[in-house]
Amino acid sequence: MSTDENNTSVKSTTDPGIPTIVIEEGESSKEIYEQAIKRTSLWILASVVFGIGLNFAVSPEISQEFFAGWLLEQSLSIDNVLVFLLLFDYFKVPLANQDRVLNFGIYGAIVMRATMIGLGSVALQEFHAVLLVFAGILIYSSATVLLGGDDEEEGEEEDMSKNQLVQISKSLFDASDKFDGDRFFTIIDGVKKATPLFICMVAVELSDVVFAVDSIPAVFGVTDNPLVVFTSNMFAIMGLRSLYTILSKAASDLEYLEPAVAVVLGFVGVKLVGEYFDFQISTQLSLAVVATMLSGGVGLSLWTKDRKVTEEQNA
210-236 confidence digits (pLDDT tens): 878 778 888 888 888 888 999 998 888
Q: Which has the higher per-residue pLDDT, 199 or 134?
A: 199
Model confidence pLDDT, tens digit, residues 244-254 = 777 766 666 77
Tell how far CA 17 is from the center of its chain. Answer: 16
Per-residue pLDDT for 12 more than 50? Answer: no
The residue-averaged pLDDT of 144-170 equals 67
The per-residue pLDDT of the chain, averaged, comes to 79
Do the Cβ atoms of 197 and 182 come closer than 8 Å?
A: yes
- Output the pLDDT for position 250: 65
Distances in whole angstroms, Cα of residue 149 to Cα of each of 11, 83, 144, 280 = 28, 18, 5, 30
Q: Pairing state of beta strands 191-194 and 10-15?
A: unpaired
Burial class (CB in 10 A: 0-12, 13-18, 19+), 221: buried
- Output the pLDDT for position 218: 84
- Output the pLDDT for position 20: 39
Model confidence pLDDT, tens digit, residues 26-54 = 446 677 777 878 888 898 899 999 999 99
Per-residue pLDDT for 272 more than 70? Answer: yes
User: Helix or strand or coil: residue 93?
Assistant: coil
Nearest Cα residue to 63 out of 48, 73, 75: 48
State how far the Cα of 10 lies from the Cα of 308, in Å rounded to an integer: 25
The per-residue DSSP string of 247-301 comes to HHHHGGG-TTHHHHHHHHHHHHHHHHHHHHTT----HHHHHHHHHHHHHHHHHHH
Using alpha carbons only, what angle is made at residue 237 by residues 236 and 239, rounded to the nearest 5 degrees? 70
Q: Which has the higher per-residue pLDDT, 154 or 234?
A: 234
Percent of the chain with pLDDT over 90: 8
With residue 242 as reference, give the H or E element that holds it: helix 240-250
Reported confidence tier of residue 62, pLDDT bands at 50, 70, 90 = very high
Reported confidence tier of residue 161, pLDDT bands at 50, 70, 90 = low
Do the Cβ atoms of 298 and 246 come closer than 8 Å?
A: no
Do the Cβ atoms of 239 and 40 come closer than 8 Å?
A: yes
Using alpha carbons only, what angle is made at residue 230 by residues 80 and 291, rounded to the nearest 5 degrees? 65
The residue-averaged pLDDT of 132-141 equals 85
User: Helix or strand or coil: residue 302?
Assistant: helix
State how far the Cα of 87 lies from the Cα of 75, in Å rounded to an integer: 20
Q: Which residues make Cβ contacts (< 8 Å) with residue 94, sequence separation at least 6?
A: 1, 3, 5, 179
Q: What are the DSSP E strand ranges found in the chain?
A: 10-15, 18-23, 185-188, 191-194
State how far the Cα of 178 lies from the Cα of 115, in Å rounded to an integer: 34
The residue-averaged pLDDT of 101-124 equals 85
- Output the pLDDT for position 251: 62
